């Protein structure tokens, strides 16, 4: 007679229970890894940097008058010694008054449409490239953020250079009584693009890019290096409530000093290269390139010639940065509404 031996029920020890829980967790994690994932919409990079680009365009509407004044101040007394020319513009406020009185309110917004085009293209490329560098882990290395910011800015400036060329021409253009620099006399944005293309070809649309790329590289790198540190310092000082826009404003003003000092010389050279007339051989009549422009400005106008227009450069930077980040934050909140999720202010500043 065969006896059936019943096995005693196996009691799970605490150790066995922990092992089963760990196996279950690992299995669940493995299944989740196999599922196609997508970043949360609020932080999906293409959407985020598209909104960042639009926010820069919105800020441009408010800061464009300072761009007009900056262009006029940088072209005033071109390659002439101080005191040997008539000064139509003597400062930011006086220049705004002169432009508004002579050209009207529309004169203060000259080049706005092509300026919006430049902001959209340049910042779209710049923010997208920087986001790609972050995804590759380049920004995690020492100095990676600066290199990524400078490289992304250079790429954006190169691609959007034709828009900045036309913007400079239109903003310098005015009546003879207060004209400075060469007057191209374009009839509008489309006429400017067509005229330049017919006269100089496709390469002519990128005339002056050798001054624009260093300008944006220096500006982006300086702002990335100073803005975040300034923002952390203001936050640790506890002068304002957490996530206050006053913190961003003070940080932008501190950063703006460094950016204005480092970028204005490149800005002057960029404006001169963009606005100079060309001869029948499609060569610049005043400058043969970046180094030639720098040398001639130094010889004719002295070191102070490199800092023409620094006032509007500084006064524009802080409001433009704050408005860009404010509009960016508002657009993100309206575009992606996730209950219980608070969108933080972007950690990196918006240049240009």
Mean local confidence (pLDDT), 111-125: 95
pLDDT tens-digit series, residues 242-251? 677 888 888 8
Strand partners, 278: 284
Res. 206 pLDDT band, cuts 50 70 90: very high
pLDDT, residue 39, reads: 41
Q: Is the pLDDT confidence value at 264 over 90?
A: yes
Q: Is the pLDDT confidence value at 240 over 80?
A: yes
Res. 139 pLDDT band, cuts 50 70 90: confident
Q: What angle do CA 8, 11, 17 make, to 5 degrees?
A: 150
Residues 6+ apart with CB under 8 A from 56: 119, 120, 123, 320, 324, 350, 352
More confident residue, 33 or 68: 68
Q: Is the pLDDT confidence value at 2 over 60?
A: no
Integer Rg of the chain from CA: 27
pTM check: above 0.85: no
pLDDT tens-digit series, residues 186-195? 999 999 999 9
Tokens of 98: 């002169």
| Average pLDDT for the chain | 85
CATH number for region 42-335: 1.50.40.10
Highest averaged pLDDT of the listed ranges 5-9, 220-224, 290-294: 290-294
Nearest to 351 by CA among 322, 327, 309: 322
Neighbour-count burial for 196-224, b at 16+ CB within 10 Å, e otherwise: beeeeeeebbebbbbbbbbbbbbbbbbbb
pLDDT, residue 14, reads: 53
Rounded to whole angstroms, the Cα distance separating 89 from 95 reads 5
pLDDT, residue 208, reads: 96
Within 13 Å, how many C-alpha atoms sit on residue 303's CB side? Answer: 1
Rounded to whole angstroms, the Cα distance separating 159 from 122 reads 7
Query: SS3 of 284, please?
Result: strand
Res. 221 pLDDT band, cuts 50 70 90: confident
pLDDT, residue 30, reads: 43
pLDDT, residue 224, reads: 82
Instruction: Give the rounded percent of residues in the chain with a pLDDT score beyond 90.
Output: 55
- DSSP code per residue over 291-351: HHHHHHHHHHH-GGGGGTTHHHHHHHHHHHHHHHHHHHHHHHHHH---TT-PPPPPSS---
Q: Is the pLDDT confidence value at 43 over 70?
A: no
Q: Is the pLDDT confidence value at 19 over 60?
A: no
pLDDT, residue 15, reads: 52
pLDDT, residue 336, reads: 65
Query: SS3 of 278, please?
Result: strand
Mean local confidence (pLDDT), 134-147: 87
Q: Around Cβ 258, how many Cβ atoms within 10 Å? A: 16
pLDDT, residue 196, reads: 97
Spell out the domain ranges in the chain.
Answer: 42-335
Q: Is the pLDDT confidence value at 347 over 80?
A: no
Mean local confidence (pLDDT), 184-210: 96
Q: Is the pLDDT confidence value at 133 over 90?
A: no
Q: What angle do CA 80, 85, 89 make, to 5 degrees?
A: 110
């Amino acid at each position: 007679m065969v006896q059936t031996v019943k096995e005693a029920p196996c009691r799970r020890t605490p150790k066995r229970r922990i092992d089963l829980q760990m196996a279950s967790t690992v299995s669940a994690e493995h299944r989740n890894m196999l599922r196609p994932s997508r970043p949360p919409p609020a932080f999906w990079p293409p959407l985020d940097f598209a909104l960042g680009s639009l926010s820069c365009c919105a800020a441009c509407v408010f800061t464009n008058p300072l761009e007009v004044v900056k262009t006029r101040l940088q072209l005033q007394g071109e390659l002439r010694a101080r005191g040997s020319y008539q000064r139509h513009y003597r400062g930011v406020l006086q220049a705004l008054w002169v432009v508004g009185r002579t050209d009207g309110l529309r004169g203060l917004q000259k080049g706005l449409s092509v300026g919006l085009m430049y902001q959209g293209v340049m910042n779209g490329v710049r923010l997208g490239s920087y986001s790609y560098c972050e995804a590759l882990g380049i920004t995690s290395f020492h100095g990676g953020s600066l290199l990524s910011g400078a490289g992304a800015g250079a790429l954006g400036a190169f691609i959007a250079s034709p828009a900045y060329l036309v913007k400079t021409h239109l903003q310098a253009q005015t009546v003879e009584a207060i004209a400075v620099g060469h007057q191209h006399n374009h009839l509008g944005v489309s006429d400017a693009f067509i005229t330049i293309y017919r006269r100089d070809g496709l390469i002519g649309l990128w005339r002056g890019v050798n001054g624009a790329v260093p300008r944006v590289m220096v500006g982006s790198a300086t702002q990335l290096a100073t803005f975040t540190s300034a923002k952390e310092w203001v936050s640790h000082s506890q002068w304002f409530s957490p996530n206050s826009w006053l913190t961003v404003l003070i940080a932008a003003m501190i950063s703006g000093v460094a950016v204005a000092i480092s970028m204005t010389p490149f800005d002057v050279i960029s404006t001169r290269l963009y606005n100079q007339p060309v001869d029948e051989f499609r060569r610049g009549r005043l400058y043969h390139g970046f180094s030639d422009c720098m040398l001639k400005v130094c010889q004719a106008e002295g070191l102070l010639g490199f800092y023409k227009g620094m006032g509007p450069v500084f006064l524009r930077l802080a409001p433009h940065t704050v408005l860009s980040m404010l509009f960016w934050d508002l657009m993100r909140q309206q575009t992606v509404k996730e209950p219980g999720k608070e969108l933080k202010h972007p950690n990196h500043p918006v240049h240009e």
